[in-house]
Amino acid sequence: MKLKNLAILCLFLSTITAFSQNFEGKISYANAFKSKNAQITDQQWAAMLGTTQEYSIKGGDYKSITNGTFVQWQQYSNKDNKLYIKMANSEILLWNDGSIQGDEVLKVELNKKVTEILGYKCDELILTCKSGVQKYYFNSKLSVDAKLFANHKFGNWFDYLSKSNSLPLKSIIDTAQFTMESIATEVKPMKLEAAMFELPAGVKTEKSPF
């Protein structure tokens, strides 16, 4: 399984303050998978990649922690524009260069007020990409300054943010291996310590081979 597909899931990717400032806090998501690989079941994908995800964001940094047995967490460092990935079978963090997209967005569609999630009416943004179709559902009250992520091309993240300027409450990511649906179950606006977005002291890192 290619790690670049995992980054797309981050994505993998919102009762929010009534002000127009950037959202800071944590969002919990529930994830479900439909396998396209005859050798891997829906349940196996769920076990590996996680059925729950806690996404924390402060300014231009974010961290995503899952209950998966394969990928444990991902962290984006704005200052060096790298996405770090912690695999369960290694203490070494793998990183991807945020400036390398690894995909291509072929078409963008925006549909207004398509669904309601946690009381918020959400617009739908559809990115048709070489890797598959990505659908995001968002409300502008979950605002993000897209300029903070202008160099975060990896996983099509800036392509999404430049059109939405908001964090997603729901996403449906279609790849060659599976389709993943992620939906927010709780949103907690809060002030976060900058230290939580620092890498563990003394940790070894190396460039991802994927």
All structural domains of the chain, each given as residue ranges with its CATH number in brackets, are: 3-17+26-204 (2.50.20)
For the whole model, what pTM was predicted? 0.87
State the Cα–Cα distance between residues 151 and 53, nearest whole angstrom: 24
Element counts in the chain: helices (H) and strands (E): 3, 12
| pLDDT tens for each residue of the chain, 210 residues long | 555 555 544 444 332 333 347 999 999 999 999 999 999 999 999 999 999 999 999 999 999 999 999 999 999 999 999 999 999 999 999 999 999 999 999 999 999 999 999 999 999 999 999 999 999 999 999 999 999 999 999 999 999 999 999 999 999 999 999 999 999 999 999 999 999 999 999 999 999 987
State the Cα–Cα distance between residues 36 and 169, nearest whole angstrom: 24
State the Cα–Cα distance between residues 82 and 164, nearest whole angstrom: 22
User: Is 158 in a helix, a strand, or coil?
Assistant: helix
Q: What is the DSSP letter of 128?
A: E
By C-alpha distance, which of 110, 187, 79 is closest to 143? Answer: 187
| Helix, strand, coil percentages in the chain from 3-state DSSP, rounded to 5 | 15, 50, 35
By C-alpha distance, which of 180, 187, 191, 176 is closest to 12? Answer: 180
